[in-house]
Amino acid sequence: MPTHAFEELAQDYIKPLYSYCLSLMCDPHRAEELAQETLVRAYENYPSLKNPDKFYPWLKGIAQRCRWTWFRSAKHNPVDLRVHSDQDGVSPTLQDDGPSPADQMEKRERTQELLRALKKLSRPNREVVILRYFEELSYAEIAMRLGVSIDAVDQRLTRAKLKLRNLLQYAEI
């Protein structure tokens, strides 16, 4: 299989892959790392891929396996991750119009908390939340990406949000 095909295919699937990684890791930095690792693996093994139509499921599979490998190795433990994200969790745009450092701190805290809560959801629910609020896809697009009905997407979102509410309430207490 020609190499340029991989690059073309991969460019098409960057966003879905990144969202998926985020739903796996619940952390933007580690998600990006995971996406990179996945792309390396995918590139290495691309000649073994038989059916280019299944490129995205294949990528997802690789991402999952990479994540498992990380979990097994001591290098990427959850504690490590939090230090990472606390260091540079602030985006430059927010810094520009951020009212005060204390406010910023609070917001960052809240985001972290939300991501942690997100981690406790089931994967399908988490995926829907991320596709909706991070990738900002429409309901129809989400339904197509996940291969389920729009109603199901709605239900999952509702369920995920209610669960999140409970989790966050407990976290506040």
Partner 1 sequence: MNDSSLRTINSFLSRYIDGELSPDEKKFVEAHLHANQKLQNTVEALQTISTLLKESFSEIESMDAAAARLGNFIIRLPKQVRQKPKRWRLDWSLFFSTHRRRQLAGIAVFVILAVLITPTMILPHLQTAQTDSMKSVVAGDSIQLGRRASTIVQEKGTQRRGVAAKQTERFGTYGFGMGGMGMGMPGNSDTVLYFEGAPVSPHDKSPAPKQFAAGLIAQNAGREIVGEKYISTDKKSGAQPEKSSDQAFEQPDARKIIRNADMLVEVEQLADAQSAVERIVSEAGGLTAQLTLREKEKPPWAQYTLWIPAERLDAVLEECKKLGEVQHLESAIQDITEQYFDQETRIRNLQRQEERLLKLFERDAVKMEELLKVEQEIARVRTEIEQMQGRQRLWDRQIQFSTLTLNLRQIPEEKPIAESKPKDVFTPLRRAFQDAVAVMMYSLSLMTKLLSWIFSFAVFAVPWIAIILIGWYVGKRFLRQ
Among 94, 105, 144, 171, binds partner 1 (CB under 8 A): 94
Q: Which among 66-74, 76-84, 119-127, 149-157 is the span making contact with partner 1, rule CB under 8 A?
A: 149-157
Task: Output the smallest distance, CB 121 to partner 1, in A.
Answer: 12
Q: How many CA atoms lie within 13 A of 35 on its CB side?
A: 21
Task: Output the smallest distance, CB 114 to partner 1, in A.
Answer: 5
- Per CB under 8 A, 3 contacts partner 1: yes
Helix 139-146 to helix 123-133 angle (10° resolution) is: 140
- Per CB under 8 A, 141 contacts partner 1: no
Contacts 24+ apart (CB under 8 A), 4-7: 5/52, 6/42, 6/43, 6/46
**Residue 70 falls in which region: left (phi positive, over 0), alpha (psi -120 to 50) or beta:** alpha
CA–CA separation, 104 and 95 (whole Å): 8
Among 56, 139, 141, 148, binds partner 1 (CB under 8 A): 139
Task: Output the smallest distance, CB 18 to partner 1, in A.
Answer: 5
CA–CA separation, 11 and 28 (whole Å): 19
CA–CA separation, 173 and 162 (whole Å): 17
Query: Residues in the site for partner 1, rule: CB under 8 A?
Result: 3, 7, 10-11, 14-15, 17-19, 28, 31-32, 35-36, 39-40, 43-48, 50, 61, 89-91, 93-94, 107-108, 110-111, 114-115, 129, 133-136, 138-139, 150-155, 157-158, 161-162, 164-165, 168
